[in-house]
Amino acid sequence: MMLVNTSELGIAAMVVCALGASGLAAVRVLRGPTQADRVVALDIFLATAVALCVGAALATGDTAFLDVGLVLALVGFVGTLGWARMLDAAKTRESRRTPEPRRSVEAGK
């Protein structure tokens, strides 16, 4: 009978969960419906990449994977902030361009 190390089983479960989350995020990237949904899905991709880096560090004992995961997390955070500011600026520009409908004086009586 072969005994399975519990840490190996935990790492395997983490990899399966990360791949499942990536699959669900891929569906959200493709189906949308808004840009914000796509940004969140891409953020999920980065989070799963960080989780896989941690899993690789635990499986191999090499701490370089943790450095890669840290850099991915920082780049993802800055990228998400930049994209959110871009979407907010586009929304503000669009609201300035669209005039509000005028109310007639007679309609208020």
* Rounded distance between C-alpha atoms, residue 16 and residue 101, angstroms: 53
> Of how many residues is the chain composed?
109
- CA 39 – CA 77 distance, rounded (Å): 11
Q: pTM above the 0.85 mark?
A: no
The per-residue pLDDT string of the chain (109 residues; one tens digit each, 9 = 90 and over) reads 566 788 888 889 999 999 999 999 999 999 988 888 898 999 999 999 999 999 999 999 999 999 999 999 999 999 989 988 988 888 888 887 766 666 766 655 5
- Give the domain ranges of the chain: 6-96
What three-state secondary structure class fits 71? Answer: helix
pLDDT at residue 101 in the model: 67
pLDDT for position 88: 85
6-96 CATH choice from 1.25.40, 1.10.287, 1.10.3210, 1.10.10: 1.10.287
Which ranges constitute the DSSP H helices of 32-63?
A: 35-60
